[in-house]
Amino acid sequence: MRRLLVGTDGSESGVRAVDLAARTALEQQADLWIVNVLDQGRLSASHLDALARGESVPRDELLSSLSAQLLEKAKERAESLGVEEVYLEQRTGDPVDEIIEFAREIGATTIVVGKRGYAPLTGVILGSISMRLASIAAIPVIVVP
């Protein structure tokens, strides 16, 4: 059975990646897995603290909750496109390492990601995460603009 893994961060490009992965999963009768990786290193401590203060919860708990909401929205989007079974996964760490490891764990046949997400780098044609994934993954990586 084919297994498609889509990594999303909720950005416009990440949402388009979910859409393409969902349509591809339908066409190929493949399982669809959606992963979000919490990478606290990409957010400043002051930004995380401001988020946590506004919600009166520890920042790790807040990020986990935001990630769960993002994943649920992605799942609803995939289901609205006709995918019946959608599996969700939340990870913490370096997005590239975590996506590659999770793809290996589930036996993914393809990884789908957006070209640019919420990473702090600007002016790069291909985002640092998508570029690294395409460079080192042992399976095909589809990068969605």
Distance from the Cα of residue 6 to its chain's centroid: 6
How many domains are there within the chain? 1
Q: What span, in angstroms and rounded, lies between the C-alpha atoms of 145 and 115?
A: 5
The predicted model gives 70-95 an average pLDDT of 96
The predicted model gives 34-43 an average pLDDT of 77
The predicted model gives 73-84 an average pLDDT of 97
Residue 51 has pLDDT above 70, yes or no: no
The predicted model gives 35-58 an average pLDDT of 62
In this structure, what CATH number is given to the domain that contains residue 70?
3.40.50.620
> 59 lies in which domain range?
3-144
User: Which parts of the chain are beta strand (E)?
Assistant: 3-7, 31-38, 86-92, 110-114, 141-144
